[in-house]
């Protein structure tokens, strides 16, 4: 694959994320979401480093980012703290999309 005029060959998910590549898997429940976690955690997980100060997550920044994506993508959820597994299939897909928008992915593989 070529990205930005140079050949890239990511060897791990972290390397792909760092290169700006996101994946929206067909099987979102098994391969894209952590169904035991909530909406906020699923949205911010891949870009969690941006919400950290040292080893600690700055919660209010993480919450603000998750709320923004829920509003922009019109994710129907009672709360960003609701379990992602409680959402409809379409809204779970929007949560995955929000994750890659949050990481500012340059390429999305559907």
pLDDT digits (tens, 9 = 90+) for 11-25: 999 999 999 999 998
Please write down the HEC assignment for all residues of the chain. Answer: CEECCEECCCCCHHHHHHHCEEECCCCHHHHHCCCCCEHHHHHHHHHHHHHEECCEECHHHHHHHHHHHHHHCCCCCCCCCCEHHHCCHHHHHHHHHHHHHHCCCCEEEC
**31 or 7, higher pLDDT:** 7
Q: How high does pLDDT run on average in the chain?
A: 92
Confidence of residue 75 (pLDDT cuts 50, 70, 90): very high
Model pLDDT, residue 26: 86
Sorted by sequence, the CB contacts under 8 Å of residue 20 that are 6+ apart come out as 3, 103, 104, 105, 106, 107
Model pLDDT, residue 91: 96
Model pLDDT, residue 81: 97
**93 or 48, higher pLDDT:** 93
pLDDT at residue 30 is higher than 90: no
pLDDT digits (tens, 9 = 90+) for 32-70: 899 999 999 999 998 888 888 888 888 889 999 999 999
């Amino acid at each position: 694959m070529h990205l930005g005029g140079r050949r890239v060959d990511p060897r791990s998910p972290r390397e792909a994320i760092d290169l700006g590549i996101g994946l929206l898997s067909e099987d979102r429940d098994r391969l894209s979401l952590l169904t035991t976690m909530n909406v906020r955690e699923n949205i911010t997980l891949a870009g969690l480093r941006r919400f950290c100060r040292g080893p600690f997550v700055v919660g209010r920044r993480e919450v603000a980012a998750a709320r923004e994506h829920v509003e922009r993508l019109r994710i129907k959820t009672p709360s960003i703290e609701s379990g992602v597994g409680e959402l409809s299939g379409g809204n779970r897909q929007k949560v995955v999309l929000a994750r890659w928008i949050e990481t500012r992915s340059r390429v999305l593989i559907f």
